[in-house]
Amino acid sequence: MHSSRRQFMLGAGGCAACMSGLTRAHVLPTDLPPLVDVDYEPVDADERGIWQSMEQIEETIQASPQRLNAPELQGYTGSIIEQLMGRETPDLRIYLMRSALFNASMFPTGMMIVNTGLMARVRNEAQLAAVLGHEAGHYYRKHSIERYRSLRNKTATMAWVGAIANLGAGVYSVGPYSSSDWIYVAQGINTLVTMSMFQMSRTQEEEADAYGISLMARSGYTPDAASQVWKQLIEERKASAAQRDKRYRDRSASLVSTHPPTENRMKDLADTAAYLAKGSNRGSTDRRDEWLAAVAPHRAMLLDEQIKLNDPGASLYLINSLAEDGWNGLLRYNEGEIYRLRGETGDQEKAAEAYAAATAFTDVPPEAWRAHGYALLKAKKVDDGRYALNRYLELNPGAKDAGVVRYTLAQ
């Protein structure tokens, strides 16, 4: 599986002369043309039925309370897809949804869902492009309808009510997560068995990887970014497991998983990226500054979503990774929150130190003053604690918890 996949991926960027050093390549990039164009319409009864169901689901997603209201970030994400495709993409509709899980999903009508948990973790525009390109691959290669037909033939007696809704391809997940999150939103379907039947096959995942990385190379994005996404995720999951005194286990490594084993996937993408870089004269970029500017207004919310999941190993990994560019008030505050929520021996002191450090930065969030104040009160430093809580109320006069903070100050 592994070697054949590598051959397949290497083929994705190859030319006849370049391929001489390789054994058989199963799929060449020329074998992956889009099967769907910009004004594609469903061609038969199967597809028309799916599209009708999906329209209802999309309406629900549009009105969902979990939808992130961030027009600029939405527009920015759309512009990356257009950069990848080299054209305007009215056929792909992206929805940014508030879910702290790392995932993105593609549905057969061109609806794409990108979770805030993914936005929290990517480090540059090229990494986001890697995910979006992979998802676009599922759509333009018509994986959902292909999978639907394949499964229908195998399970003729299956009840199809609601099953169409499960055609989303949640592909950039690691561990137990899947596209099913948004199916719950759409229809409240709660049958994981059905869900699992409608995930993409491994071959389709591999093809989408190949499709995405060739789009990246063509658009001038650093193809290496695709494997970096996986590297970060594996490191994060290892940090999470270590925190719980567990060993990291790749849940995609199971024979029944539709996703290729994560480590293999990372290595294959890295090999392909190296190959593409060797065969290309054109420069590439990760457009990191553009990403940082786009995500900056949302960083506090994205970190809050992650930290409150209370997965301290993963959260500390994320914060420390972001702090490689330098600590700031927001990161120190969130570091304190991780320790406070973890609540193990010595964590109160660690949290207190982090909050104190946060208040020394000019970008300190008001909430850091509140946390600092309560930490000082716990340490019996009453005057300093009261000063910090007053500072919180000064900086955040409309604080939702102003009532209880004032009550604390009045004691």
Binding positions for another protein, rule: CB under 8 A: 60, 64-66, 98-101, 116-117, 175, 181, 184-186, 188, 240, 244, 305, 308-312, 314, 340-343, 370-371, 374, 377-378, 400-401, 403-404, 407-408
**Three state DSSP letters for 213-256:** HHHHHHHCECCHHHHHHHHHHHHHHHHHHHHCCCCCCCHHHCCC
Tell me the closest approach of the beta carbon of residue 142 to another protein, in angstroms.
28
CB 334 within 8 A of CB 120: no
In this structure, are strands 104-106 and 93-97 parallel, antiparallel, or unpaired? unpaired
Tell me the closest approach of the beta carbon of residue 301 to another protein, in angstroms.
10
CB-wise, 279 or 343, nearer to another protein?
343
Tell me the closest approach of the beta carbon of residue 99 to another protein, in angstroms.
5
In this structure, what token pair is assigned to residue 342? 């973890």
CB-wise, 120 or 200, nearer to another protein?
120
Using DSSP, state whether 254 is helix, strand or coil.
Answer: coil
Tell me the closest approach of the beta carbon of residue 61 to another protein, in angstroms.
8
CB-wise, 206 or 311, nearer to another protein?
311
In a 13 Å sphere around the CA of 366, the CA atoms on its Cβ side amount to 14
CB 228 within 8 A of CB 149: no
CB 239 within 8 A of CB 317: yes
Using DSSP, state whether 321 is helix, strand or coil.
Answer: helix
Tell me the closest approach of the beta carbon of residue 268 to another protein, in angstroms.
26
Tell me the closest approach of the beta carbon of residue 195 to another protein, in angstroms.
13
CB 96 within 8 A of CB 61: no
CB-wise, 275 or 339, nearer to another protein?
339
Task: Report which DSSP code applies to 70.
Answer: -
Q: Return phi, psi of residue 221, to 5°.
A: -85, 145
CB-wise, 240 or 262, nearer to another protein?
240
CB-wise, 273 or 356, nearer to another protein?
356
Using DSSP, state whether 95 is helix, strand or coil.
Answer: strand
Tell me the closest approach of the beta carbon of residue 244 to another protein, in angstroms.
8
Using DSSP, state whether 176 is helix, strand or coil.
Answer: coil
CB 107 within 8 A of CB 167: yes
Tell me the closest approach of the beta carbon of residue 98 to another protein, in angstroms.
5
CB 214 within 8 A of CB 12: yes
Round to whole Å and give the CA distance between 358 and 370: 11
Tell me the closest approach of the beta carbon of residue 162 to another protein, in angstroms.
14
Tell me the closest approach of the beta carbon of residue 313 to another protein, in angstroms.
8
CB-wise, 10 or 388, nearer to another protein?
388
In a 13 Å sphere around the CA of 219, the CA atoms on its Cβ side amount to 25
Round to whole Å and give the CA distance between 261 and 241: 18
CB-wise, 97 or 126, nearer to another protein?
97
CB-wise, 79 or 396, nearer to another protein?
396
CB-wise, 149 or 244, nearer to another protein?
244
CB-wise, 202 or 308, nearer to another protein?
308
In this structure, what token pair is assigned to residue 68? 């992130």
Round to whole Å and give the CA distance between 212 and 223: 9
Tell me the closest approach of the beta carbon of residue 190 to another protein, in angstroms.
9
Round to whole Å and give the CA distance between 40 and 303: 39
Answer positive or negative: Cα dihedral of 294, 297, 299, 301.
negative
Round to whole Å and give the CA distance between 24 and 3: 11
